Structure 1
Amino acid sequence: MKKVTKIAQNTADFTERPKLRVAAYCRVSTDSDEQLVSLETQIRHYESYINANPDWEFAGLYYDEGITGTKKEKRHELLRMISDCENKKIDFIVTKSISRFARNTTDCLELVRKLIDLGIFIYFEKENINTGSMESELMLSILSGLAESESVSISENNKWSVKRRFQSGTFKISYPPYGYDAVDGKMVVNESQAEIVRFIFAEILSGKGTHKIADDLNRRKVPTKKGGRWTATTIRGMVSNEKYTGDAIFQKTYTDEHFNRHNNYGEKDQYLIKNHHEPIISHEDFEAAQMIIEQRGKEKGVVKYNEKYQSRYPFSGKIICGQCGSKFKRRIHGSGRKYIAWCCSTHIADIKKCPMKYIPESDFEYAFVTMMNKLIFGHETVLKPLLASLRGMNSDDSLTSIRELDKKLEENTEQRKVLVGLLTKGYLEPAVYNKGNNELLQEAERLHRQKESLVRFLNSDTQHLSEVSELLHYTTKTPMLTCFDRDIFKRFVERIIVYSRTEIGFELKCGITLKERLVK
């Protein structure tokens, strides 16, 4: 008889799932003591909240202090958390509210979609929204839109408050320039730094260039305001700063409706307060330094308030890296026989961030001559049909179409408001509401795309028509080019896109882009 051995039943639960690795994100919008206390409270709350759930495993706490919520790029901890999600260190995220996570609708939806694609969901406590169980993004879109509106409202209130302080002369400079310290809301001279400021102005007045001054300071190991290295740009900024004369000009920069900061070249009012604080440099020396800098700029072809070397070299500011979007800089290459080349500024700063290597200037010149000769030879088949097409377009019809689209968009918005009202009052089932709103949102997106396309056409068709007409006139009357002509290049080319070291594209001012192979 065969021997049978009984194998005991395995009672282990094969359906038991591993614990969810849960992380929390916190943010306070200012670095005041009260807000930092709030941050500490949030940190303690989430540590206990996550550890109290037996199905969760604490995966870390990410928090940003004193950083605005309107731009995700400025929030390093948020970006670090997203990186950890991509590296599969996090399964689930909890946060206080949508406004703490993002006050920009586009950023909020972009981050949520990115995390959903990674299989990671977010729970917003205040709104009681779990992105893993949502039937659509509609409610999140509405709520994040409200958060963005709140941010815009706060921004406008702050701007109004700051403007009133500009006008009354009571605005306090919290971060004064090198040479000054902020003491009780006032600018007080820092004597050790003031000596460096006087040295810089004296060197400028003696005829030294900003690069040489920066090198001297770095060689002497003099730290900058933030403890870094001196650059020519830093020196130029200091020499043009009126605060060293004791005066102060307010609102040199401004923030637009998209929370982007710009230099103020007259778009907004500015406010000058004389004798605002103790001077370091006399007005006479300051004015003399400005004249020297301006004269040096004229000699080099630098145009104030414009691209730095726009009129110095034909390619300056016009070559764009197709890999990272940075502009190309001019460089002298070769140890023996030297030649001019252009290289991506990001690649120059850090090779790892952009692989785009240098391209000899002669390659760009040859490619331009080839492209123009093709247009001269084939203007009948390229430019004439384009000109006829632009002339056939009717601006009046486009304006009528835009008005009709605006009307449809208004109707679409009203229909969505009605649906929201019906849902709030309980007259509409969530499933029906989601279906209807999804359809309306898709329609609104389609209408917006149509309108944007028409607006772009109206803004550009007149200019493009003139540019195409002039280019056609030139190519009709001109013989084939035998060498590079900088004036013709600057007249017809908007910029150059470098796709690779073997292919570039010439974006012409008439609105077309022509690709050319680089011949080695």
Structure 2
Amino acid sequence: MKKITKIEGSNSDALIKSKRRVAAYCRVSTDSNEQLISLEAQKSHYEKYIKSNPEWEYVGLYYDEGISGTKKEKRSELLRMLSDCEDGKIDLIITKSISRLARNTTDCLEMVRKLVDLGVYIYFEKENINTEAMESELMLSILSGLAESESISISENNKWSIQRRFQNGTFKISYPPYGYQNIDGHMVINPKQAEVVKYIFSEALSGKGTQKIADGLNYRGIPSKKGDRWIATTIRGILKNEKYTGDAILQKTYTDSNFNRHINNGEKNMYLVKNHHEPIISHEVFDAVEAVMKQRAKEKGIEKHNSKNKNRYVFSSKIICSECGSTFKRRIHSSGSRKYIAWCCNKHIKEITECSMQFIRDEDIKMAFVTVMNKLIFGQKFILRPLIQGLRNQNNTDNFLKIKELEVKIENNIEQSQTLTALMTKGYLEPSLYTKEKNALETERAILLAEKERLTRSVNGNLSKVEEVSKLLKFATKSKMLTTYEDEFFKNYVDRIIVYSREEIGFEFKFGIILRERMGK
């Protein structure tokens, strides 16, 4: 008799290969706006790159801003990624190059060994190295050693080169102040911005404070160098910058052997270069403004690094008259035996016929602010979330990718230029050929940098707005309805108040939108 034994089939679901969990790590070495734009481009690139592979599962992107690659301990996101690897959340890490992960051989090998033991591997795009496929650490050790020595060598060579240019007065300022632009390595006056600089010095000479000057520029809709709103600190920096006189003090900051940046308080030599470039302001005007600022500080009892501005009223210089553009001044009014705080238009106080705007009560402003904030807290799903989504959509992904492509081209251009210089130094190139090729590379680099700057400006404005809306959304999501006014909330989210009448004011939030609110008479 036949005996039949059933052989169980394999569960088809078990045969489905699980996706590999892939993360990316990127880093920029400075916190300037241009580098943060570069970071956005990298983030966009890696998210697309990982999600396009059907065998990979995108588990996140880890990134550090404004942190030197020479120090693993200071990179919080890198340490968080390593912790997630230990928790079994990641199978593969993708990063641009060895130097992006670590410029220290010991750190690099230590990380790789630790991750390999955990079954986590790293793919370095530039070097085309995958630690999973390596039979030994020799190649990685060599390359990471090169990255470390290259970092130190470039740093030392740059320091020596910059020091020589400081000494002979040929140092070129790559990021000129507001009012100037860099053309072929030289500081050239930007006529439109120069007029603003002259206006700032003129206003300071007339006795206006830095915050009032900033408010005036913001009211007129004049953008700062980075496209943001003007603040008192920026104005003060302009008024104290000797470069507007045509002179330049070099080596105001320096980098130590551990790659830390410091303000030069006498630890290093500084070099004053007279007539370095065309002036916007005369020495006489510059010195006069400096004297005015010192006198104002003396009168207010303000010492350097010890400002008393912390005790000012939160609405000071923040309330703007919609009729004449003047700021409002805090005063004490009386109604019978009762006294109360009021805010009055400066021009109306000086000459009632020039501005008809009447005073508003301090308590009414605060109540109106509480009402606006409660509307945002209650309606954050219908107001703030669509707003932040709209702002994010304006940050065109194509622009980020174009910026990344330009950065690659600029990096290649610089590498070619360095190679050319090395060949010339060793005598492998004729001087005439070297000059011709060097000029061609510099022309190409100038075009690439100009295009990158244009794209950067086009997306930079919205990045700060997205950040401000995100901060307010986070607060609105977690906060209960406000019952009382607090200065902290106003300072965190509002730039200024616009007075339309005694019955209506507008709160201009830091993300650029004005919300109007009615007030009691």
Higher relative contact order (CA 8 A, sep 6+): 2
TM-score by length of 2: 0.45
TM-score by length of 1: 0.45
